[in-house]
Amino acid sequence: MASLRDIRKHIASVKSIKQITYAMKMVAAARIKRAQGAILASRPFALEMDRLIADLYCELGEDDLAGTAARELFCERHKGGALCLVLVTADKGLCGSFNTNLLKAAAAWLKEHRGRKIYVVTVGRKGRDFIKRLKGLDLETAFELVGIFPKAGYAHAQLLADNIFRIYNTLPVESVTLIYNEFKSMMAQRIVTDRVLPLKAHISGCGLAGKLKGDFAFEPGKVQLLGALLPRHIGAQLYRMLLESQAAELAARMSAMESASKNASELIEGLTLKMNKTRQAMITTELNEIVSGSEALGG
């Protein structure tokens, strides 16, 4: 049976843990509002950029794009060649199943493409460490970006975009796939597996309206405009993705720390009850010994 000293030490340690988890919950709750605001601000721009790229691409013919850098970003190439995986995880743990679900999705994707050369771009320490631990696969880390959460900015997205372009243009890569957590609500996140390049997979029909309405004059020209917009388009999509992942991580951490604090409170109540019962049993035992002693003296 545990002594009163052991139970008191256990209660003190659980209270200390509860203070930490509660503080982490409050920090995540304070940051999630700013992260939600950033997502709401970036989503319309990213969606409009998607529509604009689709409209411009459908205004052009194959002859217009022939021999241009833009054509390389749209067309299928290097069939059966290497693949590029961009894995976005958190830098830290204590956020429930946020990282676990991402790593499971990444493992399933890697298993599906076993036997092919895979270049990996990792965002977040958890993903980087996971890739380093894998054995028996033809993996090569092409770029890593860690320590940016929870202050991810457009500069990080542009740095990521520049390196993805570098990998796609200099290596025999067939496609670039992105795996990340999308923020749905404070209680739910959704794993997204999306192909970033080539871009033709994102062109459904010809934008929202089918064709650009009216006659427009493009200066210096449609092809040049498309080529100038594509890097900004990829940067905007990656920026939105980083914000989605950041908000999803904060929401998952807030929920996990709230559950941990609640469990700590329940554990403290149980330990306090156990301590009181132990102390009551000790007092009862001492009283019985005193009564027995007095009876023996009186006899």
Give the DSSP per-residue string, 214-274: S----SS-HHHHHHHHHHHHHHHHHHHHHHHHHHHHHHHHHHHHHHHHHHHHHHHHHHHHH
What does residue 38 show for φ and ψ, rounded to 5 degrees?
A: -65, -40
* DSSP-assigned beta bridge partners for residue 143: 121
172: cis peptide before it, omega within 30°? no
Q: Which amino acid is at 162?
A: D
C-beta separation of 114 from 137 below 8 A: yes
| Average pLDDT value for residue range 28-55 | 82
Residues that are catalytic: 95
Residue 282 has pLDDT above 70, yes or no: yes
Which residue has tokens 């740095």? 159
Q: Residue 210: its pLDDT value, please?
A: 45
Q: Residue 203: its pLDDT value, please?
A: 60
Q: Which domains does the chain have, with CATH numbers?
A: 21-203+220-257 (3.40.1380.10)
Q: Residue 207: its pLDDT value, please?
A: 45
Cβ-count burial 281-298 (b if 16+ within 10 Å, e if not): eeeeeeeeeeeeeeeeee
Q: Residue 228: its pLDDT value, please?
A: 80
Q: How far apart are CA 32 and CA 29, in angstroms?
A: 5
Closest CA to 55 of 226, 211, 220: 211
| Average pLDDT value for residue range 137-155 | 89
Residue 181 has pLDDT above 50, yes or no: yes
> When comparing pLDDT for 46 and 202, which is higher?
46
The pLDDT-based confidence of 36 (bands split at 50, 70, 90) is confident
> When comparing pLDDT for 147 and 73, which is higher?
147
> When comparing pLDDT for 89 and 70, which is higher?
89
Give the DSSP per-residue string, 148-214: -TTS--HHHHHHHHHHHHHHHHHS-EEEEEEEEEEEEETTEEEEEEEEEESGGGG--SSTTTSS-SS
| Global pTM value | 0.81
What is the residue-averaged pLDDT of the chain? 84
pLDDT digits (tens, 9 = 90+) for 212-255: 544 566 677 777 777 788 888 888 889 989 999 999 999 999 98
Q: Residue 178: its pLDDT value, please?
A: 94
Q: Residue 242: its pLDDT value, please?
A: 92
> When comparing pLDDT for 209 and 258, which is higher?
258
C-beta separation of 142 from 84 below 8 A: yes
Residue 208 has pLDDT above 50, yes or no: no
